[in-house]
Amino acid sequence: MKKLGSVFLILIGFLLIAVMPASAEEAAGQVAATAAAASVTQAPAVTAEAFEALKNSMQVSIDTVWVLFAAVLVFFMNLGFGMVESGLCRAKNTVNILAKNFIVFAIASASFWIIGWGLMFGNGNLFMGLEGLFFVSGADNSPAMGDAYAGAYAAISWTGVPLWAKFLFQLVFAATAATIVSGVVAERIKFLSFIVFSFILVAVLYPITGHWIWGGGFLANLGMWDFAGSTVVHSVGGWAALAGALLLGARIGKYRPDGSVRPIYGHNMSMVMLGGLVLWFGWFGFNPGSTMGVGDGSAIAHIAVTTSIAAAMAILSSTATSWFLQKKPDFTMIVNGALAGLVAITAPCAFVGVGSAAVIGLIAGVLVVFSILFFDKLRIDDPVGALSVHLVNGIWGTLAVGLFAVDNITGAATGNGLFFGGGFTLLGAQAIGVAAVGAFTFTASLIIWYLIKLALGMRVSREEELVGLDLGEHGAKAYPDFQGFLTK
């Protein structure tokens, strides 16, 4: 009896599927008939105008679903960051790192909603947005696009999706910038100081430089291109984190008195694996989603492939570099290689061919290994290698646009890069962008970190650092049933 019932259900399903395309064909047929003969039929007439309206509303629906889907993928990257960071740090700081990565999205949600969005995308001057500053409350007639748009957020009227779709997508990006800081200052920063800095970063610093590039500010006018945020998101997070790491100092025991490095190993490589692949997965939203529309599908397909190829090539080159320099292929370098490739391709993913993406990835993988070793030479302690991944490769990716761009490859009039006969114009604009964003974010972050240090203190006590921030900051242990060594 049960079997019969399910067969019946399946039959009904087929019937529905069969009927739907038939009625769609009918509608199209009617349109053709009306247009050609202008004859009056008995069925309600579907004019070309009505068909156009239907097509437009379908386009908005499809684009909105795409943007929200991509936003959710980027949201999932919070998990990736949390897993990579906690895996690369010691067991005694796990709860603290997980807590930071969890709360950072909440902080970003509050601050980007309250003022960040307005500063970044509000109509304003070349430096920052001024209209509709608070709570995304400016006038808006999205999804109207381009000249038809009459509202406070004209800079992002190139996409035809509702305002809240734009907001959610930009919010998950802003949150990403803040999570980058978390890794660099891990295992020694006070929980409250991290919360305060993250709030200011997403409320003020990130939106201002974001306005310069994506909000119609002076770098956009200069002809700087950053498709999905190698500079806007990753370098900004990196610069802010570098300022923090400089003021914080290294973890106890990281450097011997003679300056040599005493490696502090992470506690769970399975988590690093999980996080690395979750981030890669999320990047399929980060880059292709930055089209903020489906178009005819060619651009998002192109970007998905440039993104993935760059990550793959960066893994190969980081593994080879690590094998050569460190005698054995270090697993953390393999994972960081993937992330480096992804960060580097974030700016150029829509502006370069697949072959160029492979080259950009190959260079990113080499850069990240040398950079991690270089920061240790300078005794700037970065527990997870986030400066090398996000700052160094964010800069590389932004400059790579100036080298490898091909005009109109997915519909953006970037002009050609240096290697494709475009001369130095684009590369120059990219370099100015990197320098301007770097100078502003690093200086402002340094000041804000310093004020936080004066007001709240930045670093936990020596005793707390030795016992671990899990007990000191949260009164909890990540693995209470297991006993490891707190210091070695």
Partner 1 sequence: MKLVVAIVQPERLKAVKDALVDVKVGKITVSNVIGCGAQAGKVEDDAGTLTGGDLLDRVRFEIAVNDDYVRPTVEAIIKGARTGHIGDGKIFILPMEECIRIRTGEMGRLAIG
10 Å Cβ neighbour count for 254? 18
Q: Which of 110, 305, 446, 466 binds partner 1 (CB under 8 A)?
A: 466
Q: Which of 2, 4, 16, 485 binds partner 1 (CB under 8 A)?
A: 485
For partner 1, the closer of residues 438 and 468 by Cβ is 468
Q: Which of 467, 469, 473, 479 binds partner 1 (CB under 8 A)?
A: 467
CA–CA separation, 114 vs 380, rounded Å? 34
* Contact status: 461 vs partner 1 (CB under 8 A): no
For partner 1, the closer of residues 29 and 253 by Cβ is 253
* Contact status: 488 vs partner 1 (CB under 8 A): yes
Q: In this chain, which stretch among 72-80, 153-161, 310-318, 460-468 interacts with partner 1, using CB under 8 A?
A: 460-468
Q: Which of 15, 20, 439, 486 binds partner 1 (CB under 8 A)?
A: 486
Q: Which of 49, 147, 463, 481 binds partner 1 (CB under 8 A)?
A: 463
CB of 262 to partner 1, least distance (A): 10
For partner 1, the closer of residues 49 and 258 by Cβ is 258
Cis peptide before 143 (omega within 30 of 0): yes
Q: In this chain, which stretch among 37-45, 154-162, 428-436, 478-486 interacts with partner 1, using CB under 8 A?
A: 478-486
- Name the residue type at position 129: G
CB of 463 to partner 1, least distance (A): 7
For partner 1, the closer of residues 2 and 488 by Cβ is 488
CB of 468 to partner 1, least distance (A): 8
* Contact status: 457 vs partner 1 (CB under 8 A): no
SS (HEC) of the chain: CHHHHHHHHHHHHHHHHHHHHHHHHHHHHHHHHHHHHCCCCCCCCCCHHHHHHHHHHHHHHHHHHHHHHHHHHHHHHHHHHHHHHHHHCCHHHHHHHHHHHHHHHHHHHHHHHHHHHHHHHCCECCCCECCCCCCCCCCCCCCCCHHHCCCCCHHHCCCCCCHHHHHHHHHHHHHHHHHHHHHHCCCCECHHHHHHHHHHHHHHHHHHHHHHHHCCCHHHHHCCCCCCCHHHHHHHHHHHHHHHHHHHCCCCCCECCCCCECCCCCCCHHHHHHHHHHHHHHHHHHCHHHHCCCCCCHHHHHHHHHHHHHHHHHHHHHHHHHHHHHCCCCHHHHHHHHHHHHHHHHCCCCCCCHHHHHHHHHHHHHHHHHHHHHHHHCCCCCCCCHHHHHHHHHHHHHHHHHHHCCCCCCCCCCCCCHHHCCCCHHHHHHHHHHHHHHHHHHHHHHHHHHHHHHHCCCECCHHHHHHCHHHHHHCCCCCCCCCCCCCC
* Contact status: 256 vs partner 1 (CB under 8 A): no
How many CA within 13 A on the CB side of residue 152? 19
CA–CA separation, 201 vs 419, rounded Å? 36
CB of 252 to partner 1, least distance (A): 9
For partner 1, the closer of residues 49 and 481 by Cβ is 481
Q: In this chain, which stretch among 36-44, 267-275, 374-382, 463-471 interacts with partner 1, using CB under 8 A?
A: 463-471
Both structure tokens of 211: 């306005």
* Contact status: 483 vs partner 1 (CB under 8 A): yes
> Cα 175 to the chain's mean position, in Å?
8
CB of 376 to partner 1, least distance (A): 20
CA–CA separation, 400 vs 365, rounded Å? 14
CB of 198 to partner 1, least distance (A): 28
For partner 1, the closer of residues 31 and 467 by Cβ is 467
CB of 462 to partner 1, least distance (A): 10
Beta bridge partners of 255: 261
Q: Which of 253, 297, 355, 457 binds partner 1 (CB under 8 A)?
A: 253
Burial environment of residue 185 by CB neighbours within 10 A (0 to 12, 13 to 18, 19 or more)? buried
CB of 250 to partner 1, least distance (A): 15
Q: In this chain, which stretch among 126-134, 164-172, 271-279, 480-488 interacts with partner 1, using CB under 8 A?
A: 480-488
CB of 330 to partner 1, least distance (A): 24
For partner 1, the closer of residues 304 and 467 by Cβ is 467
For partner 1, the closer of residues 65 and 486 by Cβ is 486
CB of 486 to partner 1, least distance (A): 5
For partner 1, the closer of residues 147 and 463 by Cβ is 463
For partner 1, the closer of residues 144 and 471 by Cβ is 471
How many CA within 13 A on the CB side of residue 74? 28
CB of 257 to partner 1, least distance (A): 11
* Contact status: 487 vs partner 1 (CB under 8 A): yes
CB of 483 to partner 1, least distance (A): 4
Residues in binding contact with partner 1, number by CB under 8 A: 10
Q: In this chain, which stretch among 133-141, 195-203, 205-213, 477-485 interacts with partner 1, using CB under 8 A?
A: 477-485
Residues forming contacts to partner 1 in the complex (CB under 8 A) are 253, 463, 466-467, 483-488
